[in-house]
Amino acid sequence: MAETKIRWLAHSAFQIITEQGKIIYIDPWIENPLSPLKLDEVKEAAMVLVTHDHFDHVGQAVEIVKKTGALLVANVETARRLKGEFQIPDENVCYFGYGMNIGGNLLYEGITVIMTQAFHSSETGAPCGYIIKLEDGTTIYHAGDTGIFDSMKTFGELYGIDVAMLPVGSVFTMDALQAARASKMISPRLVIPMHYKTFPILLQDGKAFVDMAAREAPGLEVAVMNPGEEIVFKK
Ligand SMILES: [Zn+2]
């Protein structure tokens, strides 16, 4: 049975360790006030995925790429900005330094990453989400910062999503009700709420989402994680 370790670093930051031991970071703002992981402790990474250029998502992506030699995955304009500002070599940015765009996919070390749309704002290029198909077929959808949209249903149908990471905090993203309906549309085996609690103006706990999910998507498994907690997902 394939096992994937998923660690929530609070906000939208996740560390994924694949069955084969590859480490992926998504939106690694690991210096957020709730994250127990510190940059010094990050020694190894295969890929770093950034959904858009806001500080709470780029976080320490550049530092992690530079210290581990990981591949940075970002949209074309964000990739260009980060490359230019921080002198990241082309070979450490997806597609030979170009970055990618919505609908495109990337195969890297046996892992497929598909860039999806997200409805939000960004100073460089369009914000996005990612569908990540690991070596063993385990499929994870990280929605980025977004409101709800109907294509989430199509993502579920096309890719057979096992784990969905959805923002629930409101103000800048979906609230609990929209995220609960999104869960129903995506129909994953497990949903992990994210993008809450970190700022005082956001929803402060996962309870509202659990309640809404019970109503909108009865039977759906929800993992409300503590910052730094790791779960093992078995495919
Ligand atoms: Zn955000």
- Compute the distance from residue 103 Cα to the ligand 1 centre, in Å: 21
CB 162 within 8 A of CB 151: no
- Can you give the pLDDT at residue 1? 80
Which residue type occupies 94?
Answer: C
Each residue's pLDDT tens digit, 10-49: 999 999 999 999 999 999 999 999 999 999 999 999 999 9
CB 30 within 8 A of CB 117: no
- Compute the distance from residue 20 Cα to the ligand 1 centre, in Å: 30
Each residue's pLDDT tens digit, 130-185: 999 999 999 999 999 999 999 999 999 999 999 999 999 999 999 999 999 999 99
- Residue 91 neighbours by CB distance under 10 Å: 9
- Compute the distance from residue 14 Cα to the ligand 1 centre, in Å: 14
- Compute the distance from residue 2 Cα to the ligand 1 centre, in Å: 31
- Compute the distance from residue 176 Cα to the ligand 1 centre, in Å: 15
- Compute the distance from residue 30 Cα to the ligand 1 centre, in Å: 13
- Residue 101 neighbours by CB distance under 10 Å: 15
Each residue's pLDDT tens digit, 73-132: 999 999 999 999 999 999 999 999 999 999 999 999 999 999 999 999 999 999 999 999
- Compute the distance from residue 96 Cα to the ligand 1 centre, in Å: 27
Q: How far lies 6's CA from each of 21, 88, 149, 160, in Å?
A: 12, 27, 25, 18
Q: Please, what is the average pLDDT of the chain?
A: 97
- Compute the distance from residue 1 Cα to the ligand 1 centre, in Å: 34
Q: Could you please report the per-residue DSSP string of 75-111?
A: BHHHHHHHHHHHT--GGGBTTTTT-B-TT-EEEETTE
In the sheet that holds 230-234, the strands lie side by side as 71-73, 47-49, 23-26, 14-17, 3-8, 230-234
- Compute the distance from residue 210 Cα to the ligand 1 centre, in Å: 21
pTM of the model: 0.98
